[in-house]
Amino acid sequence: MRPLVQFMHVSLDGFVAGPNGEMDWIKVDDEMFDYAGQRTNESDTALYGRVTYQMMEAYWPTAADQPNASKHDKEHSAWYKKVDKVVISKTMQGQQLPNTIIIGEDIAHRVKALKQQAGREIIIFGSPGASHTLMHHGLIDEFWLFINPIILGQGIPLFKDVKEVTKLNLVKSYQFASGVVCLHYKKG
pLDDT one-digit tens code per residue, 13-36:
999 999 998 999 999 999 998 998
> What CATH number does the domain located at 4-187 have?
3.40.430.10
CA distances for 135 relative to 4, 36, 143, 168, angstroms: 11, 22, 11, 13
pLDDT one-digit tens code per residue, 41-61:
889 999 999 999 999 999 989
Using CA atoms, how far apart are residues 62 and 74, in angstroms rounded to an integer? 9
Q: What is the phi-psi region of residue 155: left when phi exceeds 0, alpha when psi lies from -120 to 50, beta otherwise?
A: left
Residue type, 53: Y
Taking the chain, what is the end-to-end CA distance rounded to the nearest angstrom? 15
Is the pTM for the entire model greater than 0.95?
Answer: no
- Which of residues 38 and 14 earns the better pLDDT score? 14
pLDDT one-digit tens code per residue, 146-160:
999 999 999 999 998
Domain boundaries, the chain: 4-187
Using CA atoms, how far apart are residues 109 and 113, in angstroms rounded to an integer? 6
Using CA atoms, how far apart are residues 160 and 135, in angstroms rounded to an integer? 9
